[in-house]
Amino acid sequence: MHCPFCRHNDSRVIDSRTADDGATIRRRRQCPACNRRFTTSETATLTVIKRSGVTEPFSRPKIVSGVRKACQGRPVGDDDLAVLAQQVEEHMRASGQAQIEAHEVGLAILGPLRRLDEIAYLRFASVYQGFETLDDFEAAIALLRAERDMTSSDATHDSPGHPGERGDQHDHDISADTSSRAHHGVLEGSHMTPRQGGTN
Ligand SMILES: [Zn+2]
């Protein structure tokens, strides 16, 4: 592969090792032109099947950009979004499937986003799940409140200002009856680059 420093069109593998319980291979490479070293990370491609039938590689940046729109003006930082995208990818990989439907990716976003910021969650869900009336919002808010009540009955005190700090909640409910018309927006476009750069 190209050297990321000088764009020389070849590189030499000087070390190879597995990581993440064998799910990843990391290769230390050296550029024969500029002699600089870099690391590549190789994982099985996680493929997303769009509703049109077109497939594309799963992309964390795409998750981030899709969710970022819902987080405008909210106290959600780039690091939070990076963690969310990582959680979504881990969730997808844990399913053991090499191909997943775009719709499942959207569902996997809802849980972590709800824990991160409830307003951003409502915005995202309203687009993703195609809310059309105030009733849709009311139903979603009722579910959020029900979850909050469940959570606060477990804890000695609630912390409404910090929804992200509450414990793990299970992802059932809202996502169950997602209508098929609403799977748009989040996962358009296509790009996925190997992670590069020094890890040692
Ligand atoms: Zn080079």
For the segment 106-135, what is each residue's pLDDT rounded down to a tens digit?
Answer: 999 999 999 999 999 999 999 988 899 999
Using the mean position of ligand 1's atoms as its centre, give its distance from the Cα of residue 37 in Å. 8
Q: Is pLDDT of 28 > 70?
A: yes
Q: Vertex 97, ends 88 and 110: CA angle to 5°?
A: 25
What does the pLDDT read at residue 188?
37
| pLDDT of amino acid 16 | 95
Say how far apart CA 155 and CA 140 lie, in whole Å. Answer: 23
Ligand 1 centroid from CA 196, angstroms? 13
How many A from CA of 39 to the centre of ligand 1? 13
Q: In this predicted model, which residue has the larger pLDDT, 192 or 121?
A: 121
pLDDT score for 98: 87
Mean pLDDT of the chain: 80
Residue-level pLDDT at 95: 83
Centre of ligand 1 from the C-alpha of residue 171, in Å: 46
Please give the residue that has the higher pLDDT: either 10 or 199: 10
Q: Would you say residue 151 has pLDDT above 80?
A: no
Residue range 54-81, pLDDT digits in tens: 999 999 999 999 999 999 999 999 999 9
Q: Specify the pLDDT at position 6.
A: 96
What separation in Å is there between the alpha carbon of 29 and the centre of ligand 1?
10
pLDDT at 200 over 90: no
At 47, the pLDDT band (50, 70, 90 cuts) reads very high
Q: What percent of the chain has pLDDT over 70?
A: 76
Give the distance (Å) from ligand 1 centre to CA of residue 36.
Answer: 6
Q: Provide the β-strand partners of residue 34.
A: none
Band of residue 154 on the pLDDT scale cut at 50, 70, 90: low
